[in-house]
A = this chain, B = another copy of it.
Amino acid sequence: MIQPVENGARLELHSPVKLPNASAFLWNKKMMVHMNCRGYAVAQFMQPEPTKYAHAPNLEAKTFMQPEQPYYAHHPGRFFYIKDEETNSLFSTPYAPVKTPLDNFVFSAGKSDILWKIEHDGLSIEMRLSLPTNEALEQWSFTVKNITSKSRKISIYPYFPVGYMSWMNQSGEYDANLNAIVCSSITPYQKYKEYDRIKTLKDKTYLLADTIPTSWEVNQAAFEGEGGLHNPTGIVGEELLKGDARYETPACVFQYRLKLQPEQERTYRFLFGPAKDEKEIEDIGKRYFSDTSENKVTGFDATKREYDDYIAKGKGCLQIKTPDAALDNFVNNWLPRQIYYHGETNRLSTDPQTRNFLQDNMGTGYIQKEVARQAYITALSQQAESGAMPDGILIHEDAELKYINQVPHTDHCVWLPICLKAYLDETNDYALLQEKVPFSDNEKTATVTEHMNRAMLWLYKNRDERGLNYIEQGDWCDPMNMVGPKGKGVSGWLSMATGYALKTWAGICRNNTTIGLADDFSRKADELNRAINTHLWDGDWYARGITDDNVVFGVRKDLEGRIFLNTQGWALLSGCADADKSDKIIASVQKELETPYGVEMLAPSYTKMREDVGRVTQKFPGSAENGAVYNHAAAFYIFGLYTTDHSEKAYEVLRKMIPGPDEADLVQRGQLPVFIPNYYRGAFRQFPRTAGRSSQLFNTGAAPWLYRCLIDGLFGLKGDVDGLHIAPKLPKAWNRAEVVRQFRGATFKVDIQRESGISKTKISVNGQILKTSVITNIEPRVYEVDVRISEM
């Protein structure tokens, strides 16, 4: 059903019905497009806020991407109808809207393009989507080949619906000068002061063709007629009616009538995207469809190559070969790409949540170190002198804190040292700590170290008389908004995270030879751990918090939300759990939260509102934070397991984060292993039918944490001030793993093998036995590292 090809650079899906919502995504510096295998699409570009240029058939809410996005007949998409003019048989590619069972179907997710290969009715078709690097538009090519032994007369109809653009003004028409269908609209507004912004928007959508069409249609209703999208009336006639849309829903439809001899093929190319005006479209047409360059390469091809190069820059620092080929394929090809996407796009937000911004850039630290470095400086420059971090980081001059960033959360400071540690481990760039950075609320500047100290002290102070951290209207868990709105409730998780942050910062201070600070922060971390053990240990696991009304929750006696994953995973990280408690925690998580699809965030999922916990309890049971396999939280847990040397359990949970490889698992999840989704449906014990189903959302803090788990944990190839530490933690079932690790300009080719009879890991570098487990004095060259680990 699925198959990696081109050495894993592409993943193919061979059915349009087994995983109907399987998808892949492309992005560039201006946009993102999420394509479903059947041709449905969600695409947004930045101006500077995310904007759609292909719309639903109705007045859609302005919204983020939705989990488990439902598709329906008129959902935006990119389709081609193919009609045999002699038999009148009709089908569509890639599959929708006609949904004819096809002779052959391949949905091929590439790193820098998305390709379908269809065979049907004696025709072979390839349709391919790629993006340029710096412009918001889609490049489409469509090749049709006659694979029969007789000549064929066919018509091809690209059908790119544009949808309900605006109730205020929408229209569309074919422009012969541009050889484009241009759909125009005006974004609705009411207050006249909004006009200054509205008038700058790219409110047009165009489909620009390299080939003059036989005919066209711009009127959605006229095209569709009484036939419906599965059998449009417009296609019944010999030619389309060349209609326009005048305050009518527009669509971009061309017709190409052509005759194909046996084995003859024909390629058409199209550009689809938003524009300010006709002049911009004209300019795009010239740049992409004329081969004006010296070497006769069209812009269309040149940008494709440029984009290949751009995507190739996100290849990461780890190439693996293990007994698990599907794992290798995902880790080598798709995981770093997903991390790169986060760093490049900031989730298509101009005010990413502070915690997301920092963790996404934790991942970026493995891929684009300079980008990550600047991100820490940007974030800290928006810190208040009190040490408090804002709820979102403004990364565009017109940005403002919106939506969830208007709700106060108390956890943002903890991510600073936790993410910075990964950056420092990778780069050894301790000079960053001496950079001078301003505050947001006055004219002063201070070093990064000073900013960090203030963040840590803010967290340390922001605790109650028990020594636990206030939660206010949420911590990492955004919708946990009613535990502490009165200013009394505390977060068990945040207390642990503060402890871990203090401990981590203490470690950085120690590396930075500021030992006094290090000791002080270490003591404060211990203080947190004592408070946690005093107030939150429930016998077999830690409670999640204590409400405004002094009710401890996430405890055995709760009928719903009895156990939360985050206060177990972070208990391992903060060190509050001793060995005995750790064992109990891990056993409890296994019993209460583990599922075939990963580890759930809480259980049982809430089925009704709990008014002293909040909005999280109102989400559908098993979705998102209400008990899904929320991979971000699962990754924390895995990281905690590796940190505390529970590596067998760690790998067991880690492997479940990736769909497949067996078909039943893929079908249940419904997702291709080309990204980690933000969640798989949980509530496994309550709603087994839907458990495991992917949200299909690829914005998630799980990706960088998974990468860190692989580097620091599974393969144990982590940096520190002294060099590269070698401490692999392979699962029992593996006898060998080969890893190529890029690190501080050097390439480490690491061959890890089990050896019978040894009790201690033996490491040799370029044939020389290493006395410690650290490779020091790293130079920009290739290191052959042989690692022998004991059999278990």
Q: Is the C-beta of A73 less than 8 angstroms from some C-beta in chain B?
A: yes
Q: Please name all residues of chain B whose beta carbon is closer than 8 Å to the beta carbon of A72 when the two chains form the complex.
A: 57-58, 73-74
How many residues on chain A are close to B (CB under 8 Å)? 62
Kindly state the separation between the CA atoms of A687 and B687 in the bound complex, as whole angstroms. 56
Q: Is the C-beta of A482 less than 8 angstroms from some C-beta in chain B?
A: yes
Report whether B247 and A681 are in contact in the complex, using a CB–CB cutoff of 8 Å. yes
Q: Is the C-beta of A736 less than 8 angstroms from some C-beta in chain B?
A: no
Q: Please name all residues of chain B whose beta carbon is closer than 8 Å to the beta carbon of A56 when the two chains form the complex.
A: 56, 58
The segment from A184-192, A307-315, A494-502 that touches chain B is A184-192
Report whether A190 and B404 are in contact in the complex, using a CB–CB cutoff of 8 Å. yes
Kindly state the separation between the CA atoms of A68 and B220 in the bound complex, as whole angstroms. 14
Q: Please name all residues of chain B whose beta carbon is closer than 8 Å to the beta carbon of A690 when the two chains form the complex.
A: 246-248
Given A61-B59, A189-B615, CB of A620 within 8 Å of CB of B171: yes
The segment from A223-231, A375-383, A572-580 that touches chain B is A223-231
Q: Please name all residues of chain B whose beta carbon is closer than 8 Å to the beta carbon of A681 when the two chains form the complex.
A: 247
Interface residues of A in 5-52 (CB under 8 A from B): 17
Given A61-B60, A75-B58, A247-B620, CB of A190 within 8 Å of CB of B407: yes
Q: Is the C-beta of A353 less than 8 angstroms from some C-beta in chain B?
A: no
Q: Is the C-beta of A170 less than 8 angstroms from some C-beta in chain B?
A: yes
Report whether B70 and A164 are in contact in the complex, using a CB–CB cutoff of 8 Å. yes
**Apart from the given pairs A58-B58, A58-B72, 20 other A-B contacts in the complex at a CB distance below 8 Å:** A57-B70, A58-B75, A59-B66, A60-B60, A60-B61, A63-B167, A67-B167, A68-B248, A70-B220, A99-B228, A168-B619, A169-B623, A170-B620, A190-B403, A192-B481, A192-B485, A192-B615, A228-B230, A246-B622, A246-B689
Q: Is the C-beta of A734 less than 8 angstroms from some C-beta in chain B?
A: no
Q: Please name all residues of chain B whose beta carbon is closer than 8 Å to the beta carbon of A60 when the two chains form the complex.
A: 58-61
Report whether B73 and A63 are in contact in the complex, using a CB–CB cutoff of 8 Å. no
A73 nearest CB neighbor, chain B only: B73
Q: Please name all residues of chain B whose beta carbon is closer than 8 Å to the beta carbon of A481 when the two chains form the complex.
A: 192
Q: How many copies does the complex hold?
A: 2
Whole-angstrom distance from the CB of A480 to the nearest CB of chain B? 10
Encoded as 1 (CB less than 8 Å from any B CB) or 0, chain A from 592 to 620 comes to: 00000000000000000101001100111
14 contacts between A and B (CB under 8 A): A56-B56, A57-B72, A58-B72, A59-B61, A60-B61, A63-B167, A66-B167, A70-B164, A70-B221, A70-B248, A170-B620, A190-B615, A192-B482, A246-B622
Q: Is the C-beta of A205 less than 8 angstroms from some C-beta in chain B?
A: no
A690 nearest CB neighbor, chain B only: B246
A193 nearest CB neighbor, chain B only: B485
Q: Please name all residues of chain B whose beta carbon is closer than 8 Å to the beta carbon of A73 when the two chains form the complex.
A: 72-74, 228-229
Q: Please name all residues of chain B whose beta carbon is closer than 8 Å to the beta carbon of A614 when the two chains form the complex.
A: 192
Q: Is the C-beta of A249 less than 8 angstroms from some C-beta in chain B?
A: yes
Encoded as 1 (CB less than 8 Å from any B CB) or 0, chain A from 85 to 114 comes to: 000000000000001000000000000000
A17 nearest CB neighbor, chain B only: B226
